[in-house]
Structure 1
Amino acid sequence: MHRNPPDPSGENILAADAAVATWKEPPHWLPAVFHSLAYRNYSLLVIGQVSNSLAQWVDMVARPIMMIALTGSAVQVGLVAMARGVPMLFLGPISGILADRMDRRFLMLIAKVLSQVVNIAFTALILTGRLEIWHIYATAILRSVLMAFDQPARQALLPSLVPPRLLVNAIALNSGSMQVVRIVSASLTGVMIAVWAKAFGFAEDDVRVFGGAYVLTVVAYAVAIIATYMLRVPAGGNAKHTNDSWGGSFLEGLRYVLHNPVILGILILLAVQTTFGMPYQSVFVPWLAIKVMDIGPEGAGMLIAVSGFGSLLGAMAVAARGHLLRRRGLIILIALALYGGSLAALGLTSALPLVGVIGLTLPLLPIITLFLVGLAQTSLMSMKNMVLLEDTPNDLRGRVMSFQSWDRGFQTLGGGLGGFAIAAMGGPFALAAFGATCILGALVVGILMPRLRNHN
């Protein structure tokens, strides 16, 4: 079945969907910026997302540090980042179709339970000192496979858990909660690695130093499973049943995207951002912190936490005032350009001498640029999700949101390219080049796709 894109006037399509969560006034003690948390099922979704993100962020910080400790190779760091997302490229369409055919909560629950099984096995290998390089790659791939099925279902479910006029607030709060997790987990991971090594007398290249961090991921996944189990999807929260073939369902979603220049433009921008921007977390920051700034795993965690503070500020601003923003397409373009410029500045300032501040020796300029990276990143992601969910009908949301899984695949491709770029030109200049590419992408899409630029 062919679907026409939404009216270009900007009337959002949520009004066409059945209302699945009724409006209610927030408790007097709850600030308006947290209004969406008054809805039980949305709160459970956030708790599950926070716990899931905690496990993912610990792994995202620890795994590249683990690879650096075991191999000392930037190429290996990039390749393991690539292994994390290649399945997203192939499984994204399938997971999106499932999210539009199955009970979305059940799909999320199965994905999380199986992720926990993989996680427990990986943690056991670390604690017993039996971990080998191929285990790092294999578990990265398995976790990526399962994430591919969790993400579209979770994102497609969100609009059914709050009233339409709270969607902006709900998306921003969801992003903000993940940034709090990034701040805590990034800092905590580096500290836990150092403390665990000291407490048990492990050498820096002994994989058992990562044991404490991965025990934490097991606990976090358990909380995510419980929260997802307790979640109840309102009537209308799942897509309508369809007898279309899998191929027909995929083509329906693809046609919808290709005939909607706003959604297509956003997905192109995301491909640029995830390929050339997101590898800063999994490749560039760990490498720059350990090999260029010489501030170790704790410093790498601190730098990622700084970007989390910027992201948190951006998320809270969108949660409070996002519903008042117009020209959202232009905001997305500006946010990507700022994001790329901040990454380029991070690369160029990373080799500068550390600065003494209040008795501490810190990479001051990289800290400032990473704060701006986080601020731009969350503004971009919140606005992007807002437009995608508002402009897509409920029975297509799983498929449209699954195209973002391709962006996760592009992120891993970028991680691999980042490793080779570091080997070829050094970390600082490689990151500067990646940031400049993000700026170029925003300029080109903004010029060639005026419907996105003028989307209101």
Structure 2
Amino acid sequence: MATAAAKLSGMFRALSSRNYRLFFVGQGISLIGTWMQQIALSWLVYRLTDSVFLLGAVTFSSQIPSFILGPFAGVLADKFNRHKVLLVTQTLSMVQASTLAALVLTNTIEIWHILALSAFLGIINGFDISTRQSFVVEMVERREDLGNAIALNSSLFNMARLVGPTIAGLLIAAVGEGMCILINAVSYIAVLASLLLMRLKPFERVQQEHKVWKSLQEGFQYAFGFAPIRSLIIIVALLSLFGMPFTVLLPVFARDILHGGANTLGYLMGASGLGALTGALFLAQRKSVVGLGKVLLATMTIFGVALILFSFSKMLLLSLALMLFTGFGMIVTMASCNTLLQTLVDDDKRGRVMSFYSTAFMGMAPIGSMLASSVAEQIGVGYTLAGCGFLCVLSIIPFAIYRPKLRRMVQPIYQRLGILPEIATGLQTASNLTAAQEKR
């Protein structure tokens, strides 16, 4: 009994930090609203247009700014007060959601409104995501709890993905999409309150000799000049490019293949969220990064195979079960890469490196979504998604081949920094996988 209690407390050890605890609660409430808006918007677009291409176009407009602005946002995160940057981005996100809710509730919404407001949110997220990723280290009091905090962030994100879409599906069926978006607008109050209640050390601006472009160049050379870091970023990019389009195509599966409604879409997203939550909790209970390389290989393969099987399913229960595996595989791969990067990078370059992570994650997804939606218009969503899953499985093979080389590259660095040897071994393992992509 005592052992089980110790394991449970260890799983949530990052919550002992007051600032992180505040952020965890506020962000949790806000993320439920975010997922509700995402489901409502996808259903609204498909209901208004019956166009798979426009589903991809909306996703593209909301995420492509992260691809363009992400690296510059990383420079900002390293130069300026991350706490104040987040206050600005979260406030602007609330304004975006409020405007969108007003247009939907008054029945004046048009597709160009959705595209424009999605692009505006994409610009905000371009600065928000890398800043938020870098801010985690400031909220956690003990450095050894950083990996646990990142895993808990993933748990929180996916708990919201379990709850938000399910509520949204029921609300859309009952009162329409506008109420979901309005709830999201209100939910930003929680995360803003949590940020304002934090007690942080006084911000000390680091005097940097280089201008923005020079700082960006320096960060790029640091991240992509070292194969283990480069490899992890490439894994995230490939998963986003080939794997993330499945969320764009889900409304089509829910309505046209499974013959359901908005609630069916909510159940599919909720099942994916449940699988992802399980994966995040699996990572949270790990005490170190040892073995994450092998985990990455397994989970990216699981994700790809589950997508292939889901693409041919016409039974709701089977589809829901397969969504569990897609969610698990996706989040464990993404969160493992995040944890490894956060452990590998130097503090003064953390914002820039995490901006490249965000660019790979959020920036490649819209390109994949546009490609997948365009192909789906020609050959159908089933074959398109099967192809995406196949490419995910195929892309991990080179990383598996180069694991030993990357392990050797990382080990001396962590020994020099005084980190435990077993931690170094685990980090290398994960880094290894990705390096192979450089040889493709």
- TM-score in terms of structure 2 length: 0.88
1:267 aligns with 2:246: no
2:291 to 323, 327, 336: 327
1:444 aligns with 2:398: yes
1:280 aligns with 2:259: no
Are the structure 2 counterparts of residues 280 and 72 from structure 1 closer, same or farther at C-alpha, using a change threshold of 3 Å?
A: same
> d(CA) in 1 for partners of 2:407 and 2:321?
29
Q: Which amino acid aligns with 2:293?
A: G
> d(CA) in 2 for partners of 1:125 and 1:293?
30
1:324 shift after superposition: 4.0
Q: Which residue of 2 aligns with 1:18?
A: none
1:31 is paired with a residue of what secondary structure? helix
2:379 to 401, 425, 428: 425
Q: Which residue of 1 aligns with 2:415?
A: none
Are the structure 2 counterparts of residues 83 and 442 from structure 1 closer, same or farther at C-alpha, using a change threshold of 3 Å?
A: same
Q: Which residue of 2 aligns with 1:313?
A: 278
Gaps of 5+ in 2: 409-427, 430-440
Question: What are the Cα deviations for residues 172-218 of structure 1, in whole angstroms up to 9, with x where unaligned?
Answer: 1111011111111010111100011xxxxxxxxxxxx2111111101
Q: Which residue of 2 aligns with 1:255?
A: 221
> d(CA) in 1 for partners of 2:222 and 2:289?
25
Are the counterparts in 1 of residues 301 and 393 from structure 2 also a CA contact under 8 Å? yes
> d(CA) in 1 for partners of 2:122 and 2:200?
25
User: As a proportion of its length, which structure holds more helix?
Assistant: 2
Q: Which amino acid aligns with 1:337?
A: T
Question: What are the Cα deviations for residues 41-95 of structure 1, in whole angstroms up to 9, with x where unaligned?
Answer: 0112222332332232122211121111001011111111111111111101111
1:169 shift after superposition: 1.4
> d(CA) in 1 for partners of 2:188 and 2:390?
37
1:31 shift after superposition: 2.5
1:313 shift after superposition: 1.1
Alignment of 1:38-437 (within 5 A): 38-162=16-140, 163-196=142-175, 209-234=176-201, 240-281=206-247, 283-321=248-286, 323-349=287-313, 352=314, 354=315, 363-407=316-360, 408-437=362-391
Number of aligned residue pairs: give it. Answer: 404
> d(CA) in 2 for partners of 1:235 and 1:96?
21
Question: What are the Cα deviations for residues 346-386 of structure 1, in whole angstroms up to 9, with x where unaligned?
Answer: 1122xx3x3xxxxxxxx121111110111112211221111
Are the counterparts in 2 of residues 48 and 223 from structure 1 also a CA contact under 8 Å? yes
Q: CA RMSD in A?
A: 2.0
Q: Which amino acid aligns with 1:262?
A: P
> d(CA) in 1 for partners of 2:245 and 2:62?
12
2:107 is paired with a residue of what secondary structure? coil
Are the counterparts in 2 of residues 68 and 74 from structure 1 also a CA contact under 8 Å? yes
1:170 shift after superposition: 1.1
> d(CA) in 2 for partners of 1:210 and 1:341?
33
Q: Which amino acid aligns with 1:256?
A: Y
Gaps of 5+ in 1: 1-26, 197-208, 355-362
Q: Which amino acid aligns with 1:340?
A: G
Q: Which amino acid aligns with 1:191?
A: L
Are the counterparts in 2 of residues 81 and 415 from structure 1 also a CA contact under 8 Å? yes
> d(CA) in 1 for partners of 2:98 and 2:129?
21
Are the structure 2 counterparts of residues 149 and 133 from structure 1 closer, same or farther at C-alpha, using a change threshold of 3 Å?
A: same
1:326 is paired with a residue of what secondary structure? coil
Are the counterparts in 2 of residues 156 and 394 from structure 1 also a CA contact under 8 Å? no
1:446 shift after superposition: 2.8
> d(CA) in 1 for partners of 2:292 and 2:209?
36
1:137 shift after superposition: 0.1
> d(CA) in 1 for partners of 2:330 and 2:125?
21
Work out the percentage of aligned pairs sharing the same amino acid. Answer: 29
Are the counterparts in 2 of residues 51 and 220 from structure 1 also a CA contact under 8 Å? yes
1:225 is paired with a residue of what secondary structure? helix
Q: Which amino acid aligns with 1:121?
A: T
Are the counterparts in 2 of residues 329 and 452 from structure 1 also a CA contact under 8 Å? no
Are the structure 2 counterparts of residues 29 and 386 from structure 1 closer, same or farther at C-alpha, using a change threshold of 3 Å?
A: closer
Are the structure 2 counterparts of residues 30 and 372 from structure 1 closer, same or farther at C-alpha, using a change threshold of 3 Å?
A: closer
- TM-score in terms of structure 1 length: 0.85
Q: Which residue of 2 aligns with 1:36?
A: 14
Alignment of 1:9-28 (within 5 A): none
1:286 is paired with a residue of what secondary structure? helix
